[in-house]
Amino acid sequence: PGARMESLPEAVLIRILASIPAVDLVLACRLVCCQWKNLVDGAALWILKCQQEGFAGAESEESAENWQNFYFLNKKRKNLIKNPCGEEDLEHWGEVEHGGDGWKVEELPGDFGKEFPSEEVHKYFVTSYEWCRKAQVIDLRAEGYWEELMDTTQPKVVVKDWYAGRRDAGCLYELCVKLLSENEDVLAEYKSETITIPQDNDADWTEISHTFSNYGPGVRFVRFEHGGQDTLFWKGWYGVRVTNSSVTVEP
């Protein structure tokens, strides 16, 4: 930078830098000179960017590294499960086990069902009279969560799923989520109990969730699997209904 930039008060320079995209700050601006490197590596710039973009909760972060990671994790936060509500039929779901008559996608509320709590969800997956399972494996590096971040910061991995029965049939539901290494060794695992919904239930949608934290270094993949069946062994699709599955990486 020229003399005029060097003469700017640090607070003013921070405000100028805060208007630059975060990736450019890290990959380009911090290489300009020692002053800019110190500012990009410091906390004040990232505090300001968090404030400008409304990322609440950063007040608890103490170190400059945490502020920068807090910003990036909030900026990147999204549901890593693809096709969570069946809008693309079974696209993106692998290791699909079609027990009975197999998986089917239906429109909400469905026969003997209820509307979903969110108006943004319009469809769900439904299981049959033998166990139906399906899974997704999320590549964290491909989604932009670099190795040092996962190994050192170990951000929370938050898993959620929604399930429901239909009023005229009982059903079973299970959820199993694993954090995997580069070689797909299991580093952490959450497995729900086998949840039983009785016949003549209220058909309400229920959320199940789990948060992974302090899971240790080496996590590179998340494997999400859920499924179920009906308990009456009726031909067709009387088993558990699932939708709006999500996996997010959070500060």
Q: Where are the domains of the chain?
A: 5-74, 94-250
Question: Stretch 35-62: mean pLDDT, rounded?
Answer: 76
CA distance 147 to 72: 14
Q: Using alpha carbons only, give the angle 5, 9, 14 rounded to the nearest 5 degrees.
A: 80
Counting residues of the chain whose pLDDT is more than 90, the rounded percentage is 64
Give the whole-number percent of the chain exceeding pLDDT 70. 94
Residue 196 pLDDT exceeds 60: yes
**Confidence check: pLDDT of 235 > 60:** yes
- 236 has pLDDT over 70: yes
* Strand partners of residue 107: 123
Q: What confidence category does residue 2 fall into, taking pLDDT thresholds of 50, 70 and 90? A: very low
Give Cα 20 distance to the centre of its chain.
Answer: 27
Q: Inform me whether the pLDDT recorded for 64 exceeds 50.
A: no
- Burial of 8 from C-beta contacts in 10 A (0-12 / 13-18 / 19+): middle
Residue 116, pLDDT > 90, answer yes
Half-sphere exposure of residue 213, counting CA atoms within 13 Å on the CB side?
A: 6
Q: For the chain, how are helix, strand and coil distributed in percent, rounded to 5?
A: 25, 30, 45
Q: What is the pLDDT of residues 147-163, one digit of tens each?
A: 888 998 899 999 999 99
Residue 108 per-residue DSSP state: S
Taking the model in full, what pTM does it have? 0.82
Using only C-alpha atoms, the chain has a radius of gyration, in whole angstroms, of: 23
CATH hierarchy code of domain 5-74: 1.20.1280.50
In the chain, the amino acid numbered 186 is V
Peptide bond into 109 cis (omega under 30): yes
Task: Tell whether the model's pLDDT for residue 71 goes beyond 90.
Answer: no
What average pLDDT does this structure show over 16-24?
84
- Give the domain 94-250 fold: Jelly Rolls (2.60.120)
Among 163, 240, 241, 170, residue whose Cα is nearest residue 199:
170
Return the number of other C-beta atoms located less than 10 Å from residue 101's C-beta: 18
> Does the CA dihedral 148-213-219-216 come out positive or negative?
positive
- CA distance linking residue 16 with residue 27, whole number of Å: 17
HSE-CB of 45 using CA atoms within 13 angstroms = 27
